[in-house]
A and B are shown apart, each in its own frame.
Chain A
Amino acid sequence: MRDRHPFLQLFAARLRELKREPGVLFWIFGFPLLLAIGLGIAFRNEPRTEVAVGVLRSAGAEAVAAALPAERGFRASVLTDAEAAHALRLGKVALVVVPAAESGGAPEFRFDPTRPESELARVRVHDALERAAGRVDRIEPREAPVTEPGSRYIDFLIPGLLGMNIMSGGMWGIGYAIVDMRSKRLLKRLAATPMKRTHFLGAFLAARLVLVLAEMVLLLAFGWLAFDLVPQGSLVDVVALCVLGACAFAGLGLLVATRTAKVEIVGGLINLVMLPMFVVSGVFFSSERFPDVLQPFVRALPLTALNDGLRAAILEGAPLSEQLPRVLVLLVWGAISFVLALRLFRWS
C-alpha cells in the first residue's frame, strides 16, 4: 500500500539521512563558512600597509623617528642593538635604521632584501628621510584608494568557495554515498524490488540540489552580512549556475561510483578528480596565473567554468547570455558523465 510516491519516499529518506549525520552537515555548511571567515581575516584589506621600522638607540635616533610619523603610515620604535636584531628576525619590524654617527652623514639600513615588506620599507623610509632632509617633491600625486566591494580578496574568494563546495558536495554526496550503499549491499537489495532506477537516481540528484541551494544562500548571506558583498547580477542567474554546476558534479560523482565496490577506493578516485581542479580552477587564486598554453585545458574544466561563471555573475553582474561557453562546458560535462554512468552502472 503506497503511503506516498516512491520518488518522494526516496527523496525524504536521503534528506533524513543527511540531516541525521552531523559530520555531513559540518562539511556541507560549517566548513566553507569557517574557511571564508579564516581567509577573510587573514587577507582583510587594511587602510594602508603600516611600515614597522626599528631605529637603533643613539644620538640621532629621535630625529630619525620624528621623520617617520604615524600619519604617513610608519610605526617607528627606538630599540637597542639586541632588541633590533631580535625584532628584525621575528618580522616585528621590516627594517632597522642605524642613524648616522655625525650630522650630515648617511644612515645605515639593515633588512632582508628578499622580503617584499622589507624592500617596501626601504623605499618608503628612504623617501621619508629625504623629505625630512629638505628634498622638495615636484610631483605630488593624488591618492584614491580602492576598497569598495567587488575587488577585494574576499570578493574573489566567496564565489570560489561556493564553486568548490558544489564540486565536493556532488562528488562526495553522490559518489561516496552510492559506493557506500553498494558496499553494504543496499543497492542490490533495492534492485530486488520493483523500484524504478530513475526514481532512485532522481531522488539523489534532487536532494543534492536542495543542499546546493542552501549552501548558496548561506555563503552569499555570509558575504553580504560580514563583508558587505552584494551580488551584482540577477539571483536567477546565480541559481541557474549553481544548479548546472551541481548537475555536472553529480554526474561526475555518479561516474566514479558506477562500479567501485569499496569506499576506500572511491575516496581515492574522488580526490584524484578534485585535486587538480582545486589547484587550477581558481578557488583561492585566479586560474589566469597558469601559462597561456594550459588555458584551453584549464577553462574546459567544470570547476573553472563554474567559478568563473559565478564570479562574473556575482561580482560583475554578467547575465547568463554572456556566459554561454561556460554554460556549455558545464552542460557537456554533466551530459557525458550521466550518460556514461547510467550505461556502466552496477547495482551489485
Chain B
Amino acid sequence: MSLAIRCRGLVKTFPGKPPVEAVRGLDLEVRTGECFGLLGPNGAGKTTTIEILEGLSAPTAGVVEVLGRAWKTDERELRERIGVTLQETKLADKLTVLETLRLFASFYARGRSAESALDEVGLGEKRSSWVVNLSGGQRQRLAVACALVGDPELLFLDEPTTGLDPQSRRQLWDVVRALRGAGRTILLTTHYMDEAEKLCDRVAIVDHGRVIAQGSPAELIRSLGGDHVVEFAFQDGLRAGELAALEALPGVRAARAEADGGALTVGEPHVTIPALLAFAEREHRALARLSTRQASLEDVFVTLTGRHLRDA
C-alpha cells in the first residue's frame, strides 16, 4: 500500500525559557486516498505537526516524507502537488472571490480553473463578492477552494470548521466528503470528535505531542469493549466504592465517574440497564438522570487520558 505521508520520531521544540516541546516523538502513516484526521485538544501539537508536514516549519528532529519526497530537496515539486488551508488565514479583504482564486491559480504550473474550484465548494454565486463581505463559512470554503486550484494530490486542512456555526460546518463537511470521493488524500486536524468520526477513514488521537491511539473511528470505539455508553446520576451523588460495584454489573466493560454521576461502557444496554435499576432499588438510591447513547471518540479520549476533549 502506498503512503502519502510517513513521519517517524517527529520532534519540535520551540526555544524559550523553558523551551516548549510542542511535538515529542510523533509517528504517522497516511495512506494514499484516505481521509486522515489528527484529533486532539487545543495545544496537543496538531497545528505544529501539520505545518511541519506542509513544509512551513522545520522539525527539530525526525524524518518526514511527503508523497515519497523530502521537503529539503524537493520543495518546488511538493508545493505543486499539495494544497493547504491554514488555521484562520485572512485572505485580502477587498479582492473578489474570483480574483482571489485566479491569483492562487496563477501560481501553479498545472492545476485547474478558478471557476471549477468555486463550483466544487459551492461558492459560484459569490464569485463577484469581496472577501470582506463573506460569512465565516463562505470564507472557509473559499480557503478550501484556494487549496484546490492546484489540483493537489494531497490536501491539508487545519481546523477547517473551528468557529463556524452548525449549518456552515455541515456545508463544509459535504465539501470535504466530496473531495474524499474524488480520490485525493486528505489530512485534517480537528478538536471536534464528531467531525473526525464523520469525515475520517482513520484517526490519530494526539495528546501532549504524541499519538496515543490510531485506527479507524469504528476500531477505536470498539477498543473500548462496548459500543454504547450508559450515563446516569444519583440524586445525592456517587458514593465511595459504588463505582467498583457498578463495574461488576452484567454487560459493563468499564465504568468512570463523571461530574455528577457516572458513565458505563457497555456491550448490551438492554442487559445493563435493568441491572442498574435493580442496583438503585436495592441501595435505595433515586436516579436523577439516565440516558444511553452510542460510544464516540470522545469516550476513547476520556478513557485514554481521563480528560474530556472539550476541556483538556
Q: List the interface of chain A (C-beta within 8 A of B).
A: 1-6, 8-10, 13, 16-17, 20-21, 184-186, 188-189, 191-195, 348
Contact = CB atoms under 8 A, between A and B. Distances in A.
B102 interface: yes
A189 B94 CA distance: 17
Contacts of B76: 194
Q: Per DSSP, are chain A's interface residues mostly helix, strand or loop, or mixed?
A: loop
B173 interface: no
Nearest to A348: B56
B56 A17 contact: no
B92 A1 contact: no
A8 B105 CA distance: 12
Contacts of B89: 184-186, 188-189
A192 B90 contact: no
B105 A1 contact: yes
Contact of A1 (B57, B112, B146): B112
B90 A20 contact: no
B203 to A, nearest CB: 24
B84 A2 contact: no
A10 B90 CA distance: 17
A1 B86 contact: no
B79 A17 contact: no
Between A2, A10, A191, A195, the greatest number of chain B beta carbons within 10 A of the residue's beta carbon is seen for A2
A9 B103 CA distance: 5
A3 B90 contact: no
B134 to A, nearest CB: 15
B150 interface: yes
B290 to A, nearest CB: 47
A194 B108 contact: yes
A55 B95 CA distance: 68
A50 to B, nearest CB: 52
Interface in B42-61: 54-57
Given A191-B56, A193-B108, A3 B114 contact: yes
Contacts of A21: 94
27 contacts: A1-B110, A2-B105, A2-B106, A2-B108, A3-B105, A3-B106, A9-B106, A13-B92, A13-B99, A16-B94, A17-B95, A20-B130, A184-B90, A185-B90, A186-B89, A186-B90, A186-B92, A188-B86, A189-B89, A192-B55, A192-B84, A192-B86, A193-B84, A194-B108, A194-B109, A194-B150, A195-B107
A21 B132 CA distance: 12
A135 to B, nearest CB: 74
Among A5, A184, A185, A192, the one with the most B-chain Cβ atoms within 10 Å of its Cβ is A192
Contacts of A195: 107
B150 A193 contact: yes
B103 A10 contact: yes
Contacts of B112: 1
Nearest to B101: A3
A1 B113 CA distance: 5
Contacts of A184: 89-90
A322 to B, nearest CB: 44
B254 to A, nearest CB: 42
Contacts of A3: 102, 105-106, 113-114
Interface of B: 54-57, 76, 79-80, 82, 84, 86-92, 94-95, 99, 102-114, 130, 146, 150
A321 B112 CA distance: 52
B102 A9 contact: yes
- A-B residue pairs, 6 tightest by C-beta: A184-B90, A194-B79, A20-B94, A9-B106, A192-B84, A6-B106
Nearest to A16: B95
Given A186-B92, A193-B79, 18 more contacts: A1-B105, A3-B102, A3-B105, A3-B106, A5-B106, A8-B106, A9-B102, A10-B103, A184-B89, A185-B89, A188-B56, A189-B84, A192-B55, A192-B86, A193-B108, A194-B109, A194-B150, A195-B107
B106 A185 contact: no
Contact of B107 (A6, A17, A20, A188): A6
A194 B111 CA distance: 12
Nearest to A14: B92
Given A3-B106, A193-B107, A16 B113 contact: no
A299 B94 CA distance: 40
Interface centre among A4, A5, A9, A194, by most chain B C-beta atoms within 10 angstroms, is A194
B109 A192 contact: no
A195 B79 CA distance: 9
Nearest to B57: A348
Contacts of A189: 84, 86, 89, 91, 146
A310 B94 CA distance: 35
A189 B90 CA distance: 9
A194 B88 CA distance: 20
Nearest to B112: A1
A309 B108 CA distance: 43
A17 B91 CA distance: 12
A13 B95 contact: yes
Nearest to A199: B107
B80 A194 contact: yes
A8 B91 CA distance: 18
Among B103, B104, B110, residue most surrounded by chain A Cβ atoms (within 10 Å): B103
Contacts of A4: 102, 106
Contacts of B90: 184-186
B154 to A, nearest CB: 12
B111 A1 contact: yes
B117 to A, nearest CB: 10
B97 to A, nearest CB: 13
Contacts of A16: 94-95, 99
A262 to B, nearest CB: 14
Contacts of A6: 103, 106-107
A5 B106 CA distance: 6
Contacts of B130: 20
